[in-house]
Structure 1
Amino acid sequence: MTERTAQMTAGPTPAPAGGGGRSALILMAALVVGLVLGILVAGSGDGIKEPLVQTAGLIGGLWLDALRMTVIPLIVALLVVGVVGGADAARAGGLAAKAVAWFVGFYIFSAIFGAVMTPAILSVWPLPEVAAQALQAGLAGVDQSATAAAVPTVADFFKTIIPPNPIAAAANDQILPLVFFTAVFAFALARVDPARRGSVLGFFEGVADAMLRVIGWVLALAPIGVLALAFAVGAGAGGSALGAVVHYVVVISILGIILTVLGFAIAIAVAGFAPGRFFRAITPPSVVALSTRSSLASLPAMLQAAADLRIRQRDADVVLPLAVALFRATGPAMNIGVALYVAHWLGVDISWTGYIAGIAVAAMASLGAVSLPGQISFVTSIAPISIALGVPIEPLALLLALETIPDTFRTLGNVVLDVAVTGAVSEHEHEHDVLADGG
């Protein structure tokens, strides 16, 4: 997920281990090799298979625990830094405030869209039952009780949103109340005098930097962990595992494609661009996005597209860099889509309170998704959503290796929506100026 490597605002420094093309290929190779070896071992006797599966499960489990230990402190630190940065940007001027309002509003829509569309797609094209059962057998050692216990009952849902003890909420993996408290704290911190909030913000940036460094070390061992976990799944699921891989990639990519089409609709219906003109202007940045999987790398081409669309230069110079820094339009939908796919995969039933919690976390956690290498952002963005939904996070370690193709559609959708929203914000700003001049 190279898409999330942009760092346009002050914030934590990305860890050196990252989501480059070479790293993605190594991870994918580890996944394929692990699955193939597991499939080959699946037909052997238990005297050979069981010791190998137990050893692989132990290695993969230790690696996953090391990855999981960074999630809570990292998501808290990144959310504080992201919210404060967004609030500062909104106060910088009316245009920036409107842009941030668009970003937040679209985050909420994107999360709801993913929560509704993913089950709809899976109802039309479900994972074949044989493959689902085989994969469940391959992950038979996954303990679902810990994450399922994190979802409140209907009676307790609303009163648990506000945590009486945020530290206890973090310790018990109660993600929604923890994220709620963190967001409230961050908005309050953003209103503190800059001279006094600097040390507090610096603390959270330091925590994020340290956790990114730790997770970078853990991800350096990702090929070993993914290979071990894939071997265990292949040994339990057999050849069905390979078909499930293709099914997952297609389902998650569809979410990004639909949001990209929605970006065109916003550009035409809200920003008022002619369809052909917008298509011609957005083609160069789209090509860059598809080839690099990076919004940051696409920014120069997006600025040129804005000029071709006759968006005022001063508007584009403010909104587009802000969008690259803060706006991950496809993130909430595709992140909650991954978590819901895992639920479908493992046969986990999600309550309506779980859906609400997952949507809220998907929308709010996206504010902290800036400045992250791709592999790190996959875990830190989706693990909190999975916990809020009551879905085990162990399968994420395998899906991490498959993110290259969905991430291409993430980036394409983000670039199209960045330019479309810039046009929409600029159009409304222009109308305001015309009315003001006429008055």
Structure 2
Amino acid sequence: MISNKIYAFAVNPWAVIGSLALGGAFGLLVPEEALKLGIVGDVYVNLLKMTTLPFMVSAVIFSLQRLFRDGGTSRLLLRVVTVFLCASATVALVGALVLLVMRPGANLSSATMHTFGLMVGNDSSSSETVMNLYGTDVAVKGLSLYDVLASLVPSNIFAALANGDALKTLVFALLFGLAVGRVPERISVGLSQALETIYQACQKLMHWLSYPLPLILFCMSAAQLGRSGVGPLHAMLQFVIAFFIVSVVLLVLAAVVIWKRSSHSLGTTLEALRPPFALALATRNSAACMPSMIESLVDQLGFARARVELMVPLTVSLLRVGPMVYYVCATLFIAQLYGRSLGVVEVCTVVLASVLAGFASAGMTGLVTVSLVGMTCVYLSLPFEAAFILFLAVDPLCDMLRTLILVIGNTAAVSVICPRPLKI
């Protein structure tokens, strides 16, 4: 069918990369015109976001209901906790090893340090660079147990839905799904059918919204480079390269895990990962990729639908592997930038703090996610506030990589949690 051919072209990696490259070139050549295209990307992302919460709520409640009827809840919970811990440790350690080997924040040129000074303090004098980078910073307030609990439990589910609070909505869906699973089937059958209808409708809508993906990518990349130019990217080039290498290593590792867990060839596995990969690049929104992740695991790789539909929203909301590895890389980069040498204990502290900060970032997006780097820096008494603007300058690119790691990494985690599909 024509629609299938359009969809295949829209999520093709070469079409995605080509659209980004053409949009970036347009943004650099005619920045004023490119800025006007930003509204296209904003509207598109909002269209995707509007289906996220209905999709997540219906999928979690419906899947939990079926899970209770099928049995095996306690074994699944143990497997989830094990996979969460192993995945968090793996991504954090990979990020730490690459940053310690590459040392992107050490031995920077005087020109780069001068650019940092301009970005941090808007000062044209190079003599002020050190002052701005080494200035006194406001102490970062630690996250208390009360803050964590308050961010988890909704006082009003309708307010959480209206505010787009994905984490509180997930907690409600989990608790409500557990309760619905204990209700007799003859009573809950009507709700089950309604939830399945919502789920299928949201999935179909996400599929339709994938058709204009190349055009959307062109507009979004043109608007971004038209706004910021290449100056900030050049100044933070070594950090971006290091984080890119970390991302590639983790994406390859995740693809291998999915391949080994599925009953298909490597080519079929990579083909199945194309839609979530393309959507992650386009939207930089992991929640918007959930329908595509489920479709890839269930329809193309053969994993059990009941498990996948429950695990995908759960991992996307709680297993924040993208932010975790970003916090490790950012903290070590700041330590190298300020000339702070770190021993084994300090590196282990960074890894543990980054994992905790990653879990704390559940429900957060964009620059709010970046601000949690301060949580990891405070353990090493590193000033983060002065360097914050450095990371803001390149966050659109880093956010894209974080989302890719989160989407493909969580797809791998779900493939490990769920039983292996039967070989055909």
TM range (shorter): 0.5 to 0.7
The letter of the residue matching 1:406 is C
1:198-241 deviation digits (Å, cap 9, x = unpaired): 7xx759xx9xx99x9xxxxxxxxxxxxxxxxx9xxxxxxxx997
Q: Are the structure 2 counterparts of residues 386 and 277 from structure 1 closer, same or farther at C-alpha, using a change threshold of 3 Å?
A: same
- Percent of counterpart pairs with the same letter? 18
CA drift at 1:291: 0.7
Q: Are the structure 2 counterparts of residues 389 and 271 from structure 1 closer, same or farther at C-alpha, using a change threshold of 3 Å?
A: farther
Q: Are the structure 2 counterparts of residues 428 and 101 from structure 1 closer, same or farther at C-alpha, using a change threshold of 3 Å?
A: farther
Q: Does 1:400 align with 2:392?
A: yes
Q: Does 1:287 align with 2:274?
A: no
Q: Does 1:110 align with 2:91?
A: yes
The corresponding residue for 2:242 is: 251
Inter-partner Cα distance in structure 1 for 2:276 and 2:232: 36
CA drift at 1:104: 2.7
Q: Does 1:319 align with 2:300?
A: no
The corresponding residue for 1:385 is: 376
**Alignment equivalent of 2:352, drawn from 338, 357, 360:** 360
5+ residue gaps, structure 2, are: 1-23, 32-63, 118-127, 166-227
Q: Are the structure 2 counterparts of residues 241 and 411 from structure 1 closer, same or farther at C-alpha, using a change threshold of 3 Å?
A: closer
Q: Are the structure 2 counterparts of residues 103 and 299 from structure 1 closer, same or farther at C-alpha, using a change threshold of 3 Å?
A: same
CA contact (8 A) 1:316 1:422 kept: yes
The corresponding residue for 1:370 is: 362
The letter of the residue matching 1:402 is V
The corresponding residue for 2:332 is: 340
Q: Are the structure 2 counterparts of residues 333 and 127 from structure 1 closer, same or farther at C-alpha, using a change threshold of 3 Å?
A: farther
1:137-186 deviation digits (Å, cap 9, x = unpaired): 52413456779xxxxxxxxxxxxxxxxxxxxxxxx7685xx66x779x96
The corresponding residue for 2:188 is: none
Q: Are the structure 2 counterparts of residues 273 and 327 from structure 1 closer, same or farther at C-alpha, using a change threshold of 3 Å?
A: farther
Inter-partner Cα distance in structure 2 for 1:304 and 1:422: 13
Residue correspondence of structure 1 range 2-13 to structure 2 within 5 A: none
Please state whether the residue corresponding to 1:330 is helix, strand or coil: helix
CA contact (8 A) 1:293 1:408 kept: yes
Inter-partner Cα distance in structure 2 for 1:131 and 1:97: 52
Inter-partner Cα distance in structure 1 for 2:421 and 2:352: 29
Q: Does 1:138 align with 2:111?
A: no
Q: Does 1:303 align with 2:294?
A: yes
Residue correspondence of structure 1 range 20-419 to structure 2 within 5 A: 93=73, 94-122=75-103, 128-131=108-111, 133-134=113-114, 135=116, 138-143=129-134, 202=155, 243-271=234-262, 273-306=264-297, 307-379=299-371, 381-393=372-384, 394-419=386-411
TM-score (ref. length: structure 2): 0.56
CA contact (8 A) 1:252 1:337 kept: yes
Please state whether the residue corresponding to 2:321 is helix, strand or coil: coil
Inter-partner Cα distance in structure 2 for 1:422 and 1:333: 19
The corresponding residue for 1:426 is: 418
CA drift at 1:105: 2.3
Q: Are the structure 2 counterparts of residues 242 and 430 from structure 1 closer, same or farther at C-alpha, using a change threshold of 3 Å?
A: closer
Inter-partner Cα distance in structure 1 for 2:339 and 2:112: 8
CA contact (8 A) 2:312 2:410 kept: yes
CA drift at 1:343: 2.0
CA contact (8 A) 1:259 1:330 kept: no
CA contact (8 A) 1:131 1:240 kept: no
CA drift at 1:383: 0.9
Inter-partner Cα distance in structure 1 for 2:406 and 2:303: 18
**What's the Cα RMSD here?**
4.2
1:271-304 deviation digits (Å, cap 9, x = unpaired): 5552111101110111111111111111111111
CA drift at 1:261: 1.1
CA drift at 1:360: 1.3
Higher mean alpha-carbon deviation, 242-251 vs 104-113, is at 242-251
Inter-partner Cα distance in structure 2 for 1:286 and 1:241: 26
TM-score (ref. length: structure 1): 0.54
Please state whether the residue corresponding to 1:316 is helix, strand or coil: helix
CA contact (8 A) 1:95 1:315 kept: no
CA drift at 1:418: 1.8
5+ residue gaps, structure 1, are: 1-24, 33-88, 148-171, 190-196, 213-229, 231-238, 432-439
Q: How many residues align?
A: 280
Q: Are the structure 2 counterparts of residues 340 and 402 from structure 1 closer, same or farther at C-alpha, using a change threshold of 3 Å?
A: same
Q: Are the structure 2 counterparts of residues 139 and 202 from structure 1 closer, same or farther at C-alpha, using a change threshold of 3 Å?
A: farther
